[in-house]
Structure 1
Amino acid sequence: MKSFAVVSLLALASYVSAQANGGPPFDPAGVPNVGNGQGKQFIGGQCLSAADCGSGCCAGPSGICSGVGAQTQAGKTGCGFGGGAAPAAPGAPAAAAPPPPPPAAAAPPNVGGPPFDPAGVPNVGNGAGRQFIGGQCLSAADCGSGCCAGPSGICSGVGAQTQAGKTGCGFVSGGAPAAAAPPPPPPAAAPAAPKAAGPNVGGPPFDPAGVPNVGNGAGKQFIGGQCLSAADCGSGCCAGPSGICSGVGAQTQAGKTGCGFVAKRFVRRGRVL
């Protein structure tokens, strides 16, 4: 009990003195996790070394737990503050530092285009197709939408691949395997007025919030909204069997039968209208 009280007092004193050294402010709720080397400190809480942080990154200049992809943002000076292990409390064994993150997760910096969503750091470079739109990617294999857009590598809807400073699908980092960009959506002329949504006859249910985007061919329908052809979808993929906008990497999940759905009302004399 006496050792715990000593560690708590040392952590509180360090919290007061280090806060003035630079970087973002500490979250005061993390004070109990400072300096115990148990890897329980959350991002935004103070740390004395990487051994405190669940993320494995204790960033300078003051010592704050950080996501690896955000280690130099908001005044932070990168991981490595305090060395690999926290000082041991009197009478307690020193805690070993957690292993560094795998090389694939060490994402390169953003050099153009929109900023990355830091919540996507766990999905960078694993090639599992789980990265959401706005998260960083090293190739198209990371993205649920199938589109990793330049110049920095950010998952994008196919229909928005050249917006907000993006330079189009096909980005591949120097350390990532090449992956083919998804095919562009088939040409389709926008009808004069939005079509009424039809019934769902298979696959996941439609999101009713997407009704205004059905059949207008403007590429504004979000994933989960109904579509009459790929021209409706921001992702460029209208999946069967009922016509629902889908990420390319998820086009056969949850009962979907793949991209390429075109409503019968759009087919006349063997061509898509």
Structure 2
Amino acid sequence: MKSLTVVSLLAFATYVSAQANGGPPFDPAGAKNVGNGQGKQFIGGQCLSAADCGSGCCAGPSGICSGVGAQTQAGKTGCGFGGGGGGAAAPPAAAPPPAAAPPATASKGGPPFDPAGAKNVGNGAGKQFIGGQCLSAADCASGCCAGPSGICSGVGAQTQAGKTGCGFGGGGGAAAAPPPAAAPPPAAAPPAAAAPPANKGGPPFDPAGAKNVGNGAGTQFIGGQCLSAKDCASGCCAGPSGICSGVGAQTQAGKTGCGFVAKRFVRRAAAPFVL
């Protein structure tokens, strides 16, 4: 407990000064994940070593979790930041995960795979993130495995950057087909109260997040619809129509900032509880 407290204090003390070393600003929503070595920090959050990052890449010069393909963009100096040069000592590095079989390269078109997702390829567990390789939609948390080479994609971006749309299932010669996929899970019940449609401005919702709307579980990803900040993993439900957003991007693309709460949701909370 004492060592965790020391690491947390170091992360807090260097949060502002680290920004002066270059690279993009940290997303403050990730402050709770700095320095614990649990691999829970999202891209854009501060890190003291790669052990903090879900992507496995802690980029210099100031220590920020990055997608491997973007490790030298926006002033970043590449993966490998471990606390040195940023003013904070890195915690003991976690043991690396067992090496996974190398995925096929995206040599038949489409964007390159993020190698941090190698452990999620072909297991049908729905844990692969956007940008990771997939053998079928059953691998992808977004439910969309896009051609031509099999890469998990947001539904709204399935034909961008050379992708040919959802529906890749291992055919086309890009990778060997996985064992027969398990039956899809039953459809989630619709939320108790639907938020207003995105017709009042702001970007469109990613329909893959429909199952996370209004449950208050904090599992909705950036781009998914929200009724309040309790739905969003980032802690930011942005107006004008309620969409989960990174804190640093809360006023971009027509968004009006964090703090959105659906009107029907507010009325329900204000009404007396009657059995």
Q: TM-score, normalised by structure 2?
A: 0.40
Q: TM-score, normalised by structure 1?
A: 0.40
Q: Looking at CA atoms only, which structure, 1 or 2, has the larger radius of gyration?
A: 1
